[in-house]
Amino acid sequence: MSQTPLRAVASPVAAAASPIAVAKPTKTAKSGGIKQERTWAKNAMVGSLGALVLTGFMLTGGGRRDKSTRLAHIVAGVALLGTSYWHTTLYGPGAQRRPDSIP
């Protein structure tokens, strides 16, 4: 009766505990790059601003006025702050700007 040698099985716990650095995946042409991410950030800002305005109208008497509407308004405001920050970080100090834009 022969014994087969045991193989090491990689587990997520062991991988997380290892000190080996993992490189970030690079952006490929398929992922869209920085222009696509800027578009996503702008669209997310538009969506969160729309939700903020809608819940604001609901709070001022245009609809129901309860805790869930107030919570939704606060969440929409925080989402607008987060997407604005995301949008700002995509235009860093070395970002390319149009020549006709005001500095």
* Mean pLDDT calculated for residue range 68-84: 94
Nearest residue to 90 via CA among 27, 30, 23: 27
pLDDT tens, residue by residue, 17-71? 445 554 454 444 456 788 999 999 999 999 999 999 999 998 887 666 788 989 9
What is the predicted pLDDT for the residue at 92?
80
Three-state secondary structure call for residue 29: coil
Which one has a higher pLDDT value, 89 or 4?
89
Q: Are 77 and 52 in contact (CB under 8 A)?
A: yes
Q: Are 27 and 35 in contact (CB under 8 A)?
A: no
**pLDDT of 100 over the 90 cut:** no
pTM, rounded to two decimals: 0.59
Helices (H), the chain: 12-17, 33-57, 67-90
What is the predicted pLDDT for the residue at 15?
47
